[in-house]
Amino acid sequence: MNQTRLMMGMPISVEVVDAGVDTSAFDRVFDYFRYVDETFSTYKDSSEIMRINRGELTIENASADVQLIFKLAEQTRIETDGYFDIVHDDHIDPSGIVKGWAVFEAAELLRGMGYHHYFVDAGGDIQTRGKNSQGKDWRVGVRNPFNPQQIVKSLIVPDCGVATSGTYLRGDHIYNPKGDHQLQTEVVSLTVIGPNVYEADRFATAAFAMGKQGIHFIEELDDFEGYMIDRNGKATLTSGLSQYLPSPVNH
């Protein structure tokens, strides 16, 4: 069973293939995403992030989840040598870490309900577990950033997370925090596979901000692989990506 709903300004898809899955499971997952949107939105005036940006709420008085995201964001800023930064022009925008975190937590909700085979996708940030409806490992397609209807690479992603930072979904929106906050334009798409979608998402955002050096950053991380496409259409793969590629068919 699968459902897709438009939330947080993007399509969010959930598929659960366990026998006897109940529709209430989907309601719980989508209610969770609604909560995340209400709390972390940079567009809704009532969100905690907007209230913090207006000076109406301090981080110390924010909810436990908001405080956690600030802690995780600071940890990521340090781990990426400052290339991940949720502060831009004195405003806070944690969306570069919230989406992957929310997908991971939504997947954990399903696991807590006793499900073993599912797929959660929010705008290209994906968490998988178990097998798909054909009893095989889940597959994810990497879109051509110059023609999003075309898939340029198919990935086999069992029990892991996938996140893509790119300009084709939201336009130019990722800045280099170490380059006078200039928009990063060298790279148009960077897909990262990691142990879970939260980890993949935060490092994908940071690596994308690094420009062409970002794929080398991913290469140096243990348990992460990446696929980068630059503005000239050239693809660069990390050395271990082959483990996630389909085996060639012999004829």
Delimit the domains of the chain by residue range.
2-244
Q: The CATH number of 2-244 is which of 3.10.520.10, 3.30.450.20, 3.40.50.10090, 3.90.550.10?
A: 3.10.520.10
Average pLDDT of the residues in 16-21: 96
| Residue % of the chain over a pLDDT of 90 | 87
The pLDDT assigned to 177 comes to 60
Give tens-digit pLDDT for 9-18. 999 999 999 9
The model's pTM is 0.92
Nearest Cα neighbor of 211 from 233, 237, 192, 229 is 229
Average pLDDT of the residues in 38-53: 97
The pLDDT assigned to 251 comes to 43
Average pLDDT of the residues in 57-70: 98
Tokens 């389909």 -> residue: 246
Q: What value does the mean pLDDT of the chain take?
A: 92
Is the separation of the CB atoms in 69 and 77 below 8 Å?
no
The pLDDT assigned to 184 comes to 61
The pLDDT assigned to 178 comes to 55
Angle formed by the axes of helices 23-40 and 64-79, nearest 10°: 70
Give tens-digit pLDDT for 157-186. 999 999 999 875 544 445 556 555 555 678
Q: Which residue has the higher pLDDT, 69 or 166?
A: 69
Instruction: Report whether pLDDT(116) > 60.
Output: yes
Instruction: Report whether pLDDT(105) > 80.
Output: yes
Instruction: Report whether pLDDT(199) > 50.
Output: yes
